Amino acid sequence: MKKWALTLAVLAGICASAQANDGDGGGGGVGGIGTWLWKKNGDAMGATAIITDADGQTGALQHLQQHAFTRVYGSYGNAVLEQRQALAHWNQTLASHGIESQYLMASNHWALPGGQTRLLDKVSTHFIAFQQAVTVEQRFQALHFDIEPHALSEWKQATPEVRRQLLWNLAHALTAVRQLLDRHQLQQVRIYADIPTWYDSSAKIAWADNGSAYFATLAQAIDGVSIMAYERDQADSILNATVFERSLQSEQFRVRLAVDVSDTWPTPEHMNSVISTLQAQGAAVDVHDFTDHYYWLNSQ
């Protein structure tokens, strides 16, 4: 027998909060919850299967709606080329249910020297080509990047100076993406990126200004960030770890706090309670990731 009662009671409060804030599609307000949908080839609840399977889409859509998800960061890879119509239909289906579809691109190597050229090439051949080939209702509303220089082997043995340069490479690459989109009359497409909680404070980076100039450049180049506040199971801990990043919040630059489905949480009720508390404090929230969340909630 599924233990839904408490979970649904908590989620009812989250849904009420989302509705009261008119969504987050345009960047304003707390809105609903965002989630990452990775390819996960061979998994019925991974992006690869969902876009081509009617039953999978129905199950995914029901879960998204039931748990107040209003943004999907989808890693669809070459489906933008090889399964364009299926993906266009999925985007339109999400939009018709008030859910924003963002195209998720991920490669840590784009932060390396020379990586910017490869990134821009892929944005052109995959994202821009797709946007130009489908109708307005079938387009992505945003580009979402998961580029983590700190996960590179080059980072682990690097000096603080080299680490800072890798981060600047990322900022400059995202600036170039913005310029590329603008040149193709895609000014309305927003750009978001994932970052950890410690880019402003780590001794391994050793900013002279706690990263103020760096984050100012990011805020000029993109429309917001998702702060990966993983392995923290209390709202106070998440809020304390993101004080600087949240101070950057504005109508032009959105800061979202991301929690991870993992052993960090003893129960879904615990995680949902923390999400509700964060939203009550005015924070927008993301959950990583959709597939794990789906199986976790449906196993209760």
Q: What are phi and psi of 220, to 5 degrees?
A: -80, -30
Question: Cα separation of 286 and 34, whole Å?
Answer: 4
User: Dihedral (C-alpha) 49, 52, 53, 54: value to the nearest 10 degrees?
Assistant: 140
pLDDT attached to residue 24: 53
Question: Cα separation of 230 and 195, whole Å?
Answer: 11
* Residue-range domain boundaries for the chain: 5-298
* Answer CATH for 5-298 from 1.10.3720.10, 3.40.1410.10, 1.10.10.10, 3.20.20.80: 3.20.20.80
pLDDT along the chain (300 residues), means of 10: 36 40 44 93 95 95 96 97 97 97 98 97 98 98 98 96 97 98 98 96 92 95 97 96 94 96 94 96 96 95
Please tell me the pTM assigned to this model.
0.90
pLDDT attached to residue 300: 85
Across the chain, where does the E strand assignment appear?
33-37, 69-74, 100-106, 142-146, 190-196, 224-228, 254-260, 284-288
Q: What SS3 state is found at 274?
A: helix
DSSP secondary structure letter of residue 204: T
